[in-house]
A and B are shown apart, each in its own frame.
Chain A
């Protein structure tokens, strides 16, 4: 082993506790980045699996841009293109299954119902029948499934499987089995196209056209594909079905916020490493001086310090990645129940190679970067310091330039907040933090004086309070760095706490507003509607006829897309279209309006015109205002909808959504399937009877879960809280490294002042007095860090809430995080005392003679 490595490992091994604590800072930072980084890909993978259409084994696969069904006559237009050999249309639909639909032990949460034309399908795909027969024209409620699905469901040939449809539950007899596919998508239940059109309430319609061409040669086949495109126009897509890209966008936004926290933690780790290396260099001035005296040059000394950093960085990153994986698994499995409940998808942890690389680069990079300045300062240690005692540090000058730059940064940050521009507000968050770090040294003295006054009262008559205050103010830079690390730690707690309180408050308010009915009929997924199987209009009529029911409101869903130059990237965004009955909706539900108002908006939707309410996300994405015309892609062509208001409800919180009338939805999207219901009882109605009737009717439609409004709200709240409890624990972990920062600064102070402490003891200070001086110093440091942390945290959370407001996505109410501030104060001060215990003991236990001789 070379000298650098030997020294690094021995020094690290010689100070196990400190090595452990410092490395912990890196471990925690990397752990958060890695753990959170696992979550989104896991979610995405599960999400895509859930929505993935059948894999395209054919040469050409055509779908409508919206993903909705279209008239089967389109087949003729494609068939007319020369070069098309075989062509077939199918109607495919993901069917989200209600929990335990196939018994308690069933692991299947969704199936793909695929209606094919038995006469041409075998020419397009291979259906290797292992038992039974293939489908034939005129088949009714019969299906082919894979052997694997049959095994999973415990059924055999000629048995029946049940499936929820818009017409209620149907039973399909299994007439053939095919081998299981090694595809990631959902298991398929294959029936005839005619039967699928009947069950899915889509007569004469298909949503996928597949074709094989007469040639496989690339240039020729490209020409045929172009001819097909020309024939179909731009409302059709050649390729797979669109999956809910709009939702993934929202998830990515979430990951950016989490990554920001991870990065802040690493930055805090950087501060700690920086402080630790300063301690190390201070401690080893004699060793370094000796090495210089016996011929080590400056580069060698820099190498020594950085090697130590490298060893710690690698170690910390490796452990961080390991623990991060566990964290990722924990979050994924911890939230999978909730995600399954809301969106009906199953998650398992996915680690992307890029995440590993980013984690390593950040973990090791931050350590090395933080070690660089102390390493350079070590290289400036003169060889003479090996021989003669150091003079001790005198008062440190405060950099005026730093203070001024810091003040300017804070001013810009505050100005950004007033202007309300999102980019400025986000940048302001960083500027505010860095500004505080820069301005901190200048603030140390006044704050220390102020808190010193408090301490003087506590430690009256001893003078230890003043001594502690003096110790801090003579090294304002170091005190500021420690306070900086504490600040970042607590800023994360207060900031994230503030965001969560505000978010919870906003979401719950919206929830009560839009879901405040007596009963709800909830489909398996309420965030991504695509896989939900609704019910035909008969169900609504049945519910309305129940004695005691006063009003019924339903939602319908269709997919669409919007082309606009204002949309970044592709210039096109996928959107969810929700069909409402404006009269019923306004009575039983509600939105938060950012532009326009409720009566005008609902009246406009009720008129015989193409009017729409869009949510904040969509308005921000496509830069839409009230009065604008919005070209919506529909299966019947593009239609212009006029925007009458901008408003959101809890169901459309994260996804591009447009609300139109159910009349227009039927007209343009050919959809009349209800996917969500709200039911109110008439005043004085017999609840028990109504309850019994509702349960009886809904039993035929197991895709819906009948829930009582206030119970559902409580359930939603509980799920929401269960996610956030984990989040709060994570925040606590993030704050922990600030403890190490205070500990390090105190330790370095004790080491540097060894002789001074010896002198104090020699002239009569008791051990208790020395102990209390150090503890008082710690309390002062913690108080400064806590004050800064709370300030920065409040700013961060306010920035978040305002930033979201500035994008025009939601109107969020800022909820002042009183609990967060109190918790941060308590945590900050308790950390201060805990961090002081070890150095205070070390100082008070010092042997006077040795301390006086210490150089």
Chain B
């Protein structure tokens, strides 16, 4: 069974004449260890797809299952727990808490899950070291470069050992060199650490790191092809 399964996933914003169908009967399956890039022009529904997969928004119609668990049936608290334990998020603008250090930011999901601060921070340090930030554990976001901030965000996404990492334009705010590093890291997450990674991007060069590219237009998945 696939890790991500969607069936006729549809999201309509507004109602009546002003209704906009952001996602139109999308069907998608992603397996563990797979790195999928979602591409398409602005407004094609790729972010909406990502939000629905992450349980950040509820579909108008259709269903999403993550790791065999249908999201529709989950309460707000259960959904929060699912995001905490099974899904890691990477955002375009990093969304780090400015007053916390790298370690504290990366440790957040574990702390929210009730892990003791000592253990959470130790694990955060291990992940940060693994992705090359061993020297910047105590730095606050404003003391880090954009690429480094995104690495902290990735460490935060990985710390609970999620089955799925969702990345929304993770390189949208980075220079070319940092973009390549981050894309390489996401690939490594899928290949070496056997997570499903789904990344939304505008950039074909970054999409090329993925082994599968999903093309969208007007809310529909128009192509689902494997690289190479």
Contact flag A295-B80 (CB < 8 Å), given A3-B111, A387-B47: yes
* B residues less than 8 Å from A450 (CB atoms): none
Contact of A14 with B98 in the complex, beta carbons under 8 Å: yes
A296 contacts the other chain (Cβ, under 8 Å)? Answer: yes
B156 contacts the other chain (Cβ, under 8 Å)? Answer: yes
In the bound complex, CA of A2 to CA of B117 (Å): 7
In the bound complex, CA of A387 to CA of B95 (Å): 8
* B residues less than 8 Å from A296 (CB atoms): 80, 84, 112
Q: How many A-B residue pairs have CB under 8 A?
A: 86
* B residues less than 8 Å from A13 (CB atoms): 99
Contact of B112 with A291 in the complex, beta carbons under 8 Å: yes
Contact of B54 with A10 in the complex, beta carbons under 8 Å: no
Give the Cβ gap from B88 to chain A, nearest Cβ, in Å: 8
Please provide the chain B residues from 143 to 178 with a CB less than 8 Å away from any CB of chain A in the complex. 156-157, 160, 168
Contact of A297 with B91 in the complex, beta carbons under 8 Å: no
Partner-binding segment picked from A252-260, A378-386, A507-515, A564-572: A378-386
Contact flag A10-B99 (CB < 8 Å), given A295-B81, A388-B47: yes
Contact of A7 with B97 in the complex, beta carbons under 8 Å: yes
A286 contacts the other chain (Cβ, under 8 Å)? Answer: yes
In the bound complex, CA of A350 to CA of B117 (Å): 45
Of B51, B77, B97, which one neighbours A387 at CB under 8 angstroms?
Answer: B51
A503 contacts the other chain (Cβ, under 8 Å)? Answer: no
In the bound complex, CA of A2 to CA of B118 (Å): 10
Give the Cβ gap from A524 to chain B, nearest Cβ, in Å: 63
* A residues less than 8 Å from B196 (CB atoms): none
Of A1, A294, A298, A384, which one neighbours B117 at CB under 8 angstroms?
Answer: A1
B135 contacts the other chain (Cβ, under 8 Å)? Answer: no
In the bound complex, CA of A299 to CA of B76 (Å): 11
* B residues less than 8 Å from A299 (CB atoms): 77
Contact flag A294-B109 (CB < 8 Å), given A2-B117, A384-B57: yes
Contact flag A384-B112 (CB < 8 Å), given A295-B80, A298-B76: no
* A residues less than 8 Å from B98 (CB atoms): 14
Please provide the chain A residues from 285 to 332 with a CB less than 8 Å away from any CB of chain B in the complex. 286-287, 289-300
A11 contacts the other chain (Cβ, under 8 Å)? Answer: yes
Binary interface profile of B, 61-76, with partner A (CB < 8 Å = 1, else 0)? 0000000000000001
Q: Which one of A3, A294, A299, A383 has the highest number of Cβ atoms from chain B below 10 Å of its Cβ? A: A294
Contact of A293 with B83 in the complex, beta carbons under 8 Å: yes
B220 contacts the other chain (Cβ, under 8 Å)? Answer: no
B20 contacts the other chain (Cβ, under 8 Å)? Answer: no
Contact flag A386-B95 (CB < 8 Å), given A6-B104, A294-B112: yes
Please provide the chain A residues from 1 to 58 with a CB less than 8 Å away from any CB of chain B in the complex. 1-3, 6-7, 10-11, 13-14
* A residues less than 8 Å from B92 (CB atoms): 387
Of A6, A7, A293, which one neighbours B89 at CB under 8 angstroms?
Answer: A293
Contact of B97 with A292 in the complex, beta carbons under 8 Å: no
Give the Cβ gap from A294 to chain B, nearest Cβ, in Å: 5
B46 contacts the other chain (Cβ, under 8 Å)? Answer: no
Contact of A293 with B47 in the complex, beta carbons under 8 Å: no
Contact of A387 with B168 in the complex, beta carbons under 8 Å: yes
B222 contacts the other chain (Cβ, under 8 Å)? Answer: no
B199 contacts the other chain (Cβ, under 8 Å)? Answer: no
Q: Which one of B81, B85, B95 has the highest number of Cβ atoms from chain A below 10 Å of its Cβ? A: B95
Please provide the chain B residues from 93 to 109 with a CB less than 8 Å away from any CB of chain A in the complex. 93, 95, 97-100, 104, 108-109
In the bound complex, CA of A291 to CA of B100 (Å): 13
Contact of B83 with A295 in the complex, beta carbons under 8 Å: yes
Binary interface profile of B, 105-131, with partner A (CB < 8 Å = 1, else 0)? 000110111000100000000000000
Contact of B77 with A297 in the complex, beta carbons under 8 Å: yes
* A residues less than 8 Å from B104 (CB atoms): 6
B56 contacts the other chain (Cβ, under 8 Å)? Answer: yes
Give the Cβ gap from B95 to chain A, nearest Cβ, in Å: 4
**Nearest B-chain residue to A297, judged by Cβ:** B80
Please provide the chain A residues from 120 to 159 with a CB less than 8 Å away from any CB of chain B in the complex. none
In the bound complex, CA of A7 to CA of B54 (Å): 25
Contact of A293 with B54 in the complex, beta carbons under 8 Å: yes
Chain A at the B interface: mostly helix, strand, loop or mixed?
Answer: helix
Give the Cβ gap from A134 to chain B, nearest Cβ, in Å: 76
**Nearest A-chain residue to B80, judged by Cβ:** A297
* A residues less than 8 Å from B80 (CB atoms): 292, 295-298, 300
* A residues less than 8 Å from B97 (CB atoms): 7, 287, 290
Contact of A10 with B100 in the complex, beta carbons under 8 Å: yes
Contact flag A3-B91 (CB < 8 Å), given A293-B54, A293-B56: no
Give the Cβ gap from B102 to chain A, nearest Cβ, in Å: 14
* B residues less than 8 Å from A383 (CB atoms): 54, 56, 83
* B residues less than 8 Å from A293 (CB atoms): 54, 56, 83, 89, 91, 95
Contact of B76 with A294 in the complex, beta carbons under 8 Å: no
Binary interface profile of B, 36-51, with partner A (CB < 8 Å = 1, else 0)? 0000000000010001
Binary interface profile of A, 411-434, with partner B (CB < 8 Å = 1, else 0)? 000000000000000000000000
Q: Which one of A290, A298, A382 has the highest number of Cβ atoms from chain B below 10 Å of its Cβ? A: A290
Please provide the chain B residues from 176 to 212 with a CB less than 8 Å away from any CB of chain A in the complex. none
Give the Cβ gap from B135 to chain A, nearest Cβ, in Å: 22
Contact of B91 with A290 in the complex, beta carbons under 8 Å: yes
Binary interface profile of A, 261-298, with partner B (CB < 8 Å = 1, else 0)? 00000000000000000000000001101111111111
**Nearest A-chain residue to B75, judged by Cβ:** A297
**Nearest B-chain residue to A292, judged by Cβ:** B80
* A residues less than 8 Å from B83 (CB atoms): 293-295, 383
Q: Which one of B47, B89, B92 has the highest number of Cβ atoms from chain A below 10 Å of its Cβ? A: B89
In the bound complex, CA of A374 to CA of B176 (Å): 41
In the bound complex, CA of A387 to CA of B92 (Å): 8
* B residues less than 8 Å from A11 (CB atoms): 99
Contact of B100 with A387 in the complex, beta carbons under 8 Å: no
In the bound complex, CA of A387 to CA of B84 (Å): 17
* A residues less than 8 Å from B51 (CB atoms): 384, 387
In the bound complex, CA of A295 to CA of B111 (Å): 10
**Nearest A-chain residue to B100, judged by Cβ:** A10
* A residues less than 8 Å from B85 (CB atoms): 295
Contact flag A387-B56 (CB < 8 Å), given A287-B97, A294-B89: yes
**Nearest B-chain residue to A389, judged by Cβ:** B93
In the bound complex, CA of A197 to CA of B89 (Å): 95
Contact flag A294-B99 (CB < 8 Å), given A383-B83, A387-B56: no
**Nearest A-chain residue to B101, judged by Cβ:** A10
* A residues less than 8 Å from B76 (CB atoms): 297-298
* B residues less than 8 Å from A382 (CB atoms): 56-57
In the bound complex, CA of A3 to CA of B112 (Å): 8
In the bound complex, CA of A296 to CA of B157 (Å): 14
In the bound complex, CA of A573 to CA of B93 (Å): 75
In the bound complex, CA of A7 to CA of B100 (Å): 8
Of A6, A287, A295, A297, which one neighbours B95 at CB under 8 angstroms?
Answer: A287
Contact flag A297-B168 (CB < 8 Å), given A3-B112, A287-B95, A291-B108: no
* B residues less than 8 Å from A384 (CB atoms): 51, 56-57
* B residues less than 8 Å from A14 (CB atoms): 98-99
* A residues less than 8 Å from B109 (CB atoms): 294-295
**Nearest A-chain residue to B82, judged by Cβ:** A295
In the bound complex, CA of A299 to CA of B75 (Å): 13
Contact of A294 with B84 in the complex, beta carbons under 8 Å: yes
Interface residues of A (CB under 8 A from B): 1-3, 6-7, 10-11, 13-14, 286-287, 289-300, 382-384, 386-388, 855
Interface residues of B (CB under 8 A from A): 47, 51, 54, 56-57, 76-77, 80-85, 88-89, 91-93, 95, 97-100, 104, 108-109, 111-113, 117, 156-157, 160, 168
Q: Which 10 A-B pairs have the closest CB atoms?
A: A295-B84, A10-B99, A297-B80, A290-B95, A295-B83, A3-B111, A383-B56, A297-B77, A14-B99, A296-B112
11 new A-B contacts, CB < 8 A, other than A291-B108, A292-B80, are: A3-B108, A6-B100, A10-B99, A13-B99, A290-B89, A290-B91, A295-B113, A296-B80, A296-B84, A297-B76, A382-B57
13 contacts between A and B (CB under 8 A): A2-B111, A293-B56, A294-B84, A294-B109, A295-B112, A300-B80, A383-B56, A384-B56, A386-B91, A386-B95, A387-B56, A387-B168, A388-B47
